[in-house]
Amino acid sequence: MKAHKISDSVYCLHADIEAPDLFEGIWPIPQGVSLNSYIVKGEKIALIDLIRDWGGAPKQLADALKDTGISFDQVDYLILNHLEPDHTGWLREFRQKSPKAEIISTAKGINLVKSFYKITEGLRAVKDGETLDLGKGKVLTFREAPNIHWPETMVTWDGESGTLFPCDAFGSYGILGDRIFDDEYTEAEHAAFEKECLRYYANIVASFSAFVEKAVEKVAGLEIKCVAPSHGIVWRKNPKTIIGRYLKYAAYAKGPAEKEIAVIWGSMYGNTKQGVDAVVRGIAAEGVPYTIHRVPDENVSWVLMDVYKSAGLVIAMPTYEYAMFPPMANVLDIFRRKHITGKTVLRIGSWGWVGGAKKDYEAAIEPLKWTSLESLEWAGAPDEATLKGLEEKGRELARAVLAVR
């Protein structure tokens, strides 16, 4: 793995992770993910953000560092913008290889270094606006950016090169290979990365959108020439693209989102599925774009991606033992945890000997402040009259979404 030059004094050291396990133990990463660290050179040397022992990352980091002509024991400072273990899990091993390096983070970050890794010496807590002079005119500035997406988070700014190091902010899923910069990808490749960026945001960052906006405001006065996140593409040609993308995603949390409808459905014996098909016919007749996700067949990671950006939802499920279909109950719990609020929603579903999902569902969505159309339930398979009613419900939802401002 080679190092990638951002400026004469700044290098990206990235590791591509293609391990079969899940990101944060929850989210699938079929396209992998990158772990990006950075070297900043003055008279002294700073390493910004680290890795964990995952998918061969330590060797990739060591090879990239060697490519810069620097050894671990030459590093003077390790700057930890964010203490989540994918960026710090290798900290004890790093300390053994680089015993003189001073570890720098926010006060909350330093407390996590102590509690997570039992390291108590060679630590420095920095405050918002504090600087680190590396010599040769190279001065780094630290800005606290709490709750993106942990409370100890900060960003690091290199004014000389115009590089912002925001750790998890402005990140994405997806490995990079030998191409790490935005100007090395085709339009089609960027489109694929944009989807993975939205999925990453919906999975990881969506709950903290207000803090994303605050962080962008905090760095708005900087002449940013490069955005260098800890996951995904390094933006050296069009850094405003990724900043604008994150602001758009953050705005979805307040609404309105895109005039689209995400259909999330589960069915035991096909009866609810017939209702879904009728609703979708109604949506399509009004010309509103839609996506369809079946649970539990599809991982909630992709469900979240489309739900987060869509103004309208269809929640379709049967009653199961007097309550909600369990896979849908799990999905709604994830929606609650990720604060998927302010949607216009239609719920439908079939029941067998008796209903019951309605009461369970309404309790589950109460915190989400959704605008709910009158639901439609039926016993067993839907008859023609019910199917016509469901199709009209789809039209009604589509018109409501188009009217959202």
* pLDDT, tens digit, 9 for 90 and up, residues 46-90: 999 999 999 999 999 999 999 999 999 999 999 999 999 999 999
Task: Kindly report, as residue ranges, where domains of CATH 3.40.50.360 are found in the chain.
Answer: 258-403
Query: What is the per-residue pLDDT across 235-255, written as a single tens digit (0 to 9) for each?
Result: 999 999 999 999 999 999 987
Cis before 85 (ω within 30): no
Average pLDDT over residues 88-93: 98
For residue 92, the one-letter residue type is: R
- Fold for 258-403, please state it: Rossmann fold (3.40.50)
For residue 10, the one-letter residue type is: V
For residue 116, is pLDDT > 80?
Answer: yes
Sheet bearing 10-17, strands edge to edge: 4-7, 10-17, 33-41, 45-48, 77-79, 102-105, 123-125
pTM equals 0.95
CA 296 to chain centre: 21
Residues 45 and 13: beta-carbon distance below 8 Å:
no
For residue 1, is pLDDT > 80?
Answer: no
pLDDT averaged over the chain?
Answer: 96
Split at pLDDT 50, 70, 90, the class of 353 is confident
For residue 164, is pLDDT > 80?
Answer: yes
Which overall architecture, per CATH, does domain 4-252 show? 4-Layer Sandwich (3.60)
Query: What is the per-residue pLDDT across 274-323, written as a single tens digit (0 to 9) for each?
Result: 999 999 999 999 999 999 999 999 999 999 999 999 999 999 999 999 89
Looking at residue 256, its pLDDT comes to 79
Q: What is the share, in percent, of the chain residues with pLDDT greater than 90?
A: 96
Cis before 149 (ω within 30): yes
Looking at residue 28, its pLDDT comes to 97
Task: Kindly report, as residue ranges, where domains of CATH 3.60.15.10 are found in the chain.
Answer: 4-252
**126 token code pair:** 């920095």
Residues 368 and 334: beta-carbon distance below 8 Å:
no
For residue 354, is pLDDT > 80?
Answer: no
Average pLDDT over residues 211-216: 96
Average pLDDT over residues 322-350: 96
Long-range Cβ contact pairs of 333-338 (< 8 A, separation 24 or more): 333/364, 334/300, 334/304, 335/304, 335/307, 335/365, 335/368, 336/364, 336/367, 336/368, 337/207, 338/202, 338/206, 338/207, 338/304, 338/308
Looking at residue 404, its pLDDT comes to 85
Question: Do the strands 319-320 and 310-316 form a parallel or antiparallel pair, or are they unpaired?
Answer: unpaired
Query: What is the per-residue pLDDT across 6-39, written as a single tens digit (0 to 9) for each?
Result: 999 999 999 999 988 899 999 999 999 999 999 9
CA 166 to chain centre: 14
